[in-house]
Each structure stands twice: as structure tokens, then as C-alpha cells.
Chains A and B, each alone.
Chain A
Amino acid sequence: MESYQFIPSGSEEILTAYHAAVDGSPPVRCAVLVAPLHEEKKAAHRPLVDLARALANRGCACLRFDPRGTGDSPGVADDLCFSTLRQDLTVAIDQARTLSGLEKVSLLGVRLGADLVALEGLAGTEVDHTLLCVPLISGERYLREVRIRGRIRGAMTTAEGGEEASGRSAGLDYGGHYVSPELIADLEAHDLMVDESPLAARVTCIDIRGRDSMTAPLSALVARLQSRGASVDARVVLDEPFWNALGPIVPRAFIQAVVEILTGREDEAR
């Protein structure tokens, strides 16, 4: 059973989707799924729905949500920054705990969503496990992608993305998504390699790529988290980077891996 609800967050609301455990029994676990931003969010939308349903089939309830100014939630991109994103994540965690009846939840983030998960007070008693799927690690790197993509497309057409947003001061136009000066500043300052946020009891770093070895930046992050005393598992999943897909895809290997990690059972939904 799935229930969709707008709930208050800050001065506005966020849209939440709660996937109850399918057999109707109390969930064995509950996971909050945190999507990427901008066009990556659109591409990752359905894969995260499929993941939530697969987890619910295995007794793990899930909560998905659209932060303010993204997806179907109220708000505009002008107000989007790390502080609103983190506030919305906190609200989503509370909602997941209320609906599932569980004290602790797991957090799974993809790309920038993974970075937010890593930043969120992980030592809090309410989070028992965080899964970081292909985190950006560095906000500068993301901004570089934004600007490069803009220059390439700009050269191919008359103007596009990653350029100064006309009529707005200091923001960027990322392929039709406005990136506010506040979000740019947050991204410039963001670096998980130097971050000292408290860590969850258990961390799993997941790389998703075409070969069976972890990228150097993610390997370095794993080492960094371990050096801070975290219990970190590293996992490479051979699958498509679904957050970049042009068409509809089902990242089956990724879904299978997460279902196994969170429930210890195989995904048998199909």
C-alpha cells in the first residue's frame, strides 16, 4: 500500500510517498530514500519508485519525498539550498518513524542525495544505517559539471545551461533548472573528504558503474570514513547510471543489491 501526502516543512509543504510493507505486517525496517537534484532527479524518479516497491515487498517500508522547490512539492528553485534540503530531510525522517512505528530508520541517498544523507546528523539515535550511492563527494565537482555541460550545449545551440541565468543575479541556468547563489555557495563549501559530521552506526558506500572496481574518489571516501572510526562497507554494482538515463530504465542490479543489503533477502518482485 502506498500513501501520498503533503506535509508541512518550514513555511511550506513537501510531498511524501510512504510505501508500507506489502504483506500488511509491521515493517522490519524503514528506509528514507533521498533523490538527486535537477535533471538527475527526474531520471532517478522511477528507479527509486521501483526500489521502494521492491523493498516494501520484502518487508522494508520506505518513504520518498520531494524537497521544497523540487518535484511536485511547493516552492521554487530560488529558495533551494542545503539548509532547506536538510530541514526537509529531517521532516521526512520524522514522518517515516511515525508511519512505520520504528525508532530508527535507514537513509539511502543517490548522488547529491547521498551527500545530504552523509551530512545529516548521522549519529542521531534515529538513523541506524546510511547508504551512500555514488555521492558527489565534492560540490565543486558538481558545479564544474554544471558549467561544462552548459558550455558544450551552448556551443551546439545558441545558449544553454550552466550559464548565468538571465534576469537573475548571480545564479546559474543548469539546463533549465535555476541554481541559486545560496546553493552555489553551499556546493562550493561542500567536501565530504574534510567533513566532520557525526557518522551513523553503519555506512555502506555503493558505486554504480560498468566495471567491477570502485572509482578512486569513492575509494578515498571509504578510507576517510573508516579512518574516522565508522563501520563502512564498500560495494560496486554493475549497472547503468540511472540518474543520467535519457529513457525509462530499471536498474535491476542496483535494486537487487539494495534489497539484499537492507533486508538480507533477494528481490523476487518480478
Chain B
Amino acid sequence: MSLSERFIEFVGESGGVLRGILHEPVEARDLPPVIMFSGWGGTRYGPNRILLEAARDLATDGRAVLRVDFRGRGDSDGFVDEHDLRSHIIDGRTMVAWSRRNLADRPPVLLGICSGGEVAVGCIFDGLDVDSVCLWSAPVFAAQATTERVATKRASYLREYGRKLFRGETWRKLIAGEVRFDIIRRVLGKAGVHVKSEDEPAELSAQSDFPARCEAALLIYGTADPIAAEAIQAYQALFSRAGCSTELRHIEGANHGFYALDWKREVIESTRGWLAGRGTAS
């Protein structure tokens, strides 16, 4: 059984070229295509290649899968620091339009990891009909860097730095002057919480609702992900208000990026199983 993967490129709304990979189904079935959105700073293959591996498995299951870099990311045109959640959502809509023109004229499945999950939700807020969404470690949509959020993440990073102090390698770097205090200051300063610009969408609230069709949502979070509790609560409430069935899967012990082979495999298999059930139902 051979996998068919093609490099594709098309022009986005900005006029720049978006580039990525199309996985054609090994044996085509009448299933909605899957469009994958990478994380904030990521590329289309995702952390530890999780998006690529998931795409190959889903293609084996008979689905077309599209993985394309946002503007300013991966191989796509644009400059790194000129793009934000709003521009990523516009690119996400362009990818969906390409899918409807070239793959199947039907609402796709949107699958996003981390900030890519926010892009998926943003597309639905923008009125885009989708079959369903899979959110992997998605933070609260357009969440502002509040004191509480920064503190939660900062505490998680401090624990990591604290443990590094017990490493011989850390002391060697300290003595050699190789520890990058500027980076540590930056990490602890914003704690990796993306500070939004004025033009970006409003944060998800208890009144937020979306105007588009989305039948079902799958939420996957690691139990060691500091952002999980707040995000799960927000998304379950949002999808419930919209009459969209929601399923939540926890990956025991996993962190935000699912950085272990077992966790990665569990995320992919959970998603495949859930989508297979959806395929049967639709």
C-alpha cells in the first residue's frame, strides 16, 4: 500500500503563497477531508511530527488530508513577526476554500493543535460550516495574557528551571557563561502566553456563540497541561450552547505538546477512532 503525498501551493488572501502537503486517500471513501492547522510557531508537520503521522494514518483510513503552513510560518510566504491569530484564521479559510474547490465540495473536518485549535474555532466564528473539529491542546480562543494565566504558566516553567538546577550540565553552562538569562527572563516574563495585538479577535466569553454548522467536537488534552482545565471548561460550554456534541479525551500524564511516543500514538489513535465513528454516522 503506497502513500500518495503531493506538495501543493496556492495564493492566500494576502497575495502571498501558502505551501504544504496534500495526502491523498489510499483508498478513497466518501468522507469529509481533514484540514490540519499547526501551532503558533510551528510548521505543518507539527511537534514531534505528530501532524504528519496523523495525516498518513487518516489517509490510510480513506480521507484526504491537507497540511499547509500559515503565512510567515514553515515554507509559506510572509514575515514571521507580521502575522497573528487573525491572519492565521484568514489563511485557514483560504485552505478550506481550496479544499472545497479541489478535494470535495463539502464541509471539512478541522484539526488544530495548540493555537491551530484556536484557528479552527475562529473559522467557525467567521461563519464557516465544518463537519466537525478536533482540538488538541487548544488554549481558550484568543485568550489575553492575564495575570492569572501568566502565573499558571510561569509556575510550570519555574518548576522546569528548578529541576534543571540539579543537572551537572546546567552548572557547567553557568560556569562557562552559556546560560541565556535573557531567554529565561523572556520565558518567565510572558510565560509563553501570546500577547494579542489590537486587531485580533475578542476572547471567547460565556456569551460567545458561532453562526456556522459544526456537528461534533473532539477535545484532547494532556493531564499535565497547565492550560487544559480552563480551556476544556470554555470549549465544552461553547459547543454545548451551539448544540454540538462534544467528546473529551485525557491523555494521562501528557504535557501540552504530547512529547512522548506513547502519548503521540494515543492522541492519533483516539482521533482516528473518533473520526471513524463520525464517518459511519454521517
Interface set of A (CB-CB < 8 Å, partner B)? 2, 4-6, 15, 17, 39, 42-43, 45-46, 49-50, 70-72, 74, 144-145, 148, 152-153, 155-161, 163, 165-166, 173, 175-178, 209-211, 215-216, 240-241, 245-250, 270
Contacts and interface: CB of A to CB of B under 8 A. Distances in A.
Given A5-B7, A176-B258, A215-B176, A270 B43 contact: no
B244 interface: no
Given A158-B252, A240-B180, A270-B79, A176 B74 contact: no
A23 B3 CA distance: 37
Nearest to B255: A157
Contacts of B5: 6, 72, 74
Contacts of A2: 75
Among the interface residues B41, B81, B159, B160, which one has the most CB atoms of the partner chain A within 10 A? B41
B259 A160 contact: yes
B153 to A, nearest CB: 11
Given A39-B48, A74-B3, A153-B259, A49 B79 contact: no
Interface residues of B, number: 54
A155 B165 CA distance: 14
Interface in B28-56: 40-50, 52
Contacts of B44: 72
B75 A176 contact: no
Contacts of A74: 3, 5
B19 interface: yes
A161 B264 CA distance: 11
Contacts of A46: 41, 43, 73-74, 80
A42 B167 CA distance: 25
13 contacts: A4-B9, A4-B75, A5-B7, A42-B45, A46-B74, A72-B5, A152-B160, A158-B253, A160-B260, A160-B263, A176-B50, A177-B261, A246-B187
A249 B80 contact: yes
Interface string B244-270: 000000001111011111111000000
Given A161-B259, A248-B80, A156 B48 contact: no
A152 B167 contact: yes
Contact of A157 (B42, B73, B75, B224): B224
Given A4-B19, A5-B7, A45 B48 contact: no
Nearest to B173: A215
B85 to A, nearest CB: 13
B45 A71 contact: yes
A175 B259 CA distance: 4
B227 to A, nearest CB: 14
Given A159-B253, A159-B262, A176 B48 contact: yes
B176 A240 contact: no
Interface in B159-210: 159-160, 163-164, 167, 169, 176-178, 180-183, 187, 192
B72 A215 contact: no
Contact of A50 (B21, B42, B80): B80
A155 to B, nearest CB: 6
A163 B262 CA distance: 11
B169 A148 contact: yes
Contact of B49 (A152, A177, A211): A177
Contacts of B254: 157
Contacts of B192: 246-247
Contacts of A155: 163
Nearest to B83: A248
A233 to B, nearest CB: 22
Given A49-B75, A72-B52, A165-B261, 15 more contacts: A4-B9, A4-B19, A39-B47, A45-B43, A74-B5, A159-B260, A160-B255, A175-B260, A209-B178, A210-B182, A211-B177, A240-B183, A245-B41, A248-B40, A250-B79
